[in-house]
């Protein structure tokens, strides 16, 4: 059950109430940020990542590294970016955010993403930022699309996001526990670009944004849809990458 502040208390100090009072990892108190300084130093790493699948590639020093798998089977996008691995404590924060317990986290998460030089550059270079859409059924149950929240905060300054450019054509069964091949089958023709939006994407470089990237099947399906509909090129950006 979600606890709600009484209305009179929320009106009194809404900004202060939205600030976490404990570190999101070690629970140190008081903590005026999402994580305390020592947890940030302990858990925040910026490994070099494969530009195809965004998996961490320790020890590779080339300019645009690719793992063997991505060299053999290049993905449909130009470059993949991830801010963190989907592991503690980020996984816990993301779960709280997505379950609606801490909706304010979206702004912090997007802010952290923007501070990573490769992500800031990817956002700056994109002509359009598009969130991976949820099906209308899923959107109704959840009430919001986490990926769209990230796009809103990442691209808010330049109004790049167009939420209706890429749509979900049907409600796909959950991807959890499926292999990459099964996920790709599950997602076949799950995305579409409405006729009225074709001109908006024609020849454009698009940055597709999602909260968590697991096998890349969702990004692959959405990228192929955009490219077939006339987009110039696609790059992908996730907040967290499962290892």
Q: How is residue 227 written in tokens?
A: 């490219």
Task: Identify whether the C-beta of residue 39 lies closer than 8 Å to the C-beta of residue 26.
Answer: yes
- Residue selected from 20, 34, 50, 133 as contacting Zn ion according to rule CB under 5 A: 50
Cβ closer to Zn ion: 50 or 222? 50
Least distance CB 199 / Zn ion (angstroms): 33
Cβ closer to Zn ion: 71 or 120? 71
Closest CA to 210 of 91, 152, 130: 130
Rounded CA separation 241/215 (Å) = 9
Cβ closer to Zn ion: 49 or 204? 49
Sites for Zn ion among residues 55-114 (CB under 5 A)? 67, 70
Rounded CA separation 112/107 (Å) = 9
Task: Identify whether the C-beta of residue 156 lies closer than 8 Å to the C-beta of residue 107.
Answer: no
- Tell me the chain's radius of gyration from C-alpha atoms: 19
Least distance CB 95 / Zn ion (angstroms): 17
Least distance CB 115 / Zn ion (angstroms): 19
- Residue selected from 23, 132, 154, 217 as contacting Zn ion according to rule CB under 5 A: 23
Q: Is 25 in the site for Zn ion (CB under 5 A)?
A: yes
Rounded CA separation 140/135 (Å) = 9
Q: Is 238 in the site for Zn ion (CB under 5 A)?
A: no
Q: Is 52 in the site for Zn ion (CB under 5 A)?
A: yes
Task: Kindly state the greatest CA–CA separation across the chain.
Answer: 60
Task: Identify whether the C-beta of residue 109 lies closer than 8 Å to the C-beta of residue 97.
Answer: yes
Binding region for Zn ion (CB under 5 A) out of 13-21, 42-50, 150-158, 175-183: 42-50
Q: Is 20 in the site for Zn ion (CB under 5 A)?
A: no
Cβ closer to Zn ion: 168 or 183? 183
Cβ closer to Zn ion: 62 or 141? 62
Rounded CA separation 137/81 (Å) = 28
Q: In what order do the strands lie in the sheet with 205-213?
A: 80-85, 233-241, 205-213, 128-131
Cβ closer to Zn ion: 52 or 76? 52
Least distance CB 71 / Zn ion (angstroms): 8
Q: How is residue 114 written in tokens?
A: 């923007």
Cβ closer to Zn ion: 17 or 60? 60
Phi, psi of 23 (to 5 degrees): -60, 135
Q: Is 226 in the site for Zn ion (CB under 5 A)?
A: no
* Residues near Zn ion, by CB under 5 A: 23, 25-26, 28, 36, 39, 50, 52-53, 67, 70
């Amino acid at each position: 059950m979600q606890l709600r502040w009484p209305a009179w208390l929320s009106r009194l100090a809404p900004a202060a109430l939205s600030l976490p009072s404990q570190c999101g990892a070690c629970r140190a108190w008081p903590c005026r940020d999402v994580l305390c300084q020592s947890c940030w130093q302990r858990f925040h790493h910026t490994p070099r990542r494969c530009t195809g699948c965004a998996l961490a590639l320790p020890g590779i020093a080339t300019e645009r590294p690719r793992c063997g798998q991505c060299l053999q089977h290049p993905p449909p996008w130009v470059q993949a970016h991830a801010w963190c691995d989907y592991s503690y404590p980020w996984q816990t924060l993301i779960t709280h955010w997505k379950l609606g317990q801490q909706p304010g986290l979206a702004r912090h998460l997007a802010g952290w993403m923007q501070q990573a030089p490769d992500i800031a550059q990817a956002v700056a270079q994109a002509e359009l930022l598009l969130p991976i859409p949820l099906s209308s059924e899923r959107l109704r149950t959840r009430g919001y699309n986490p990926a769209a929240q990230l796009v809103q905060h990442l691209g808010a300054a330049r109004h790049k996001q167009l939420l209706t450019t890429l749509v979900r054509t049907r409600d796909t069964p959950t991807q959890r526990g499926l292999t990459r091949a099964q996920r790709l089958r599950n997602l076949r023709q799950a995305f579409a670009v409405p006729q009225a939006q074709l001109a908006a994407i024609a020849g454009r470089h698009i940055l597709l944004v999602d909260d968590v990237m697991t096998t890349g099947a969702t990004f692959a399906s959405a990228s192929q849809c955009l490219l077939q509909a006339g987009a110039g090129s696609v790059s992908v950006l996730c907040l967290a990458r499962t290892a």
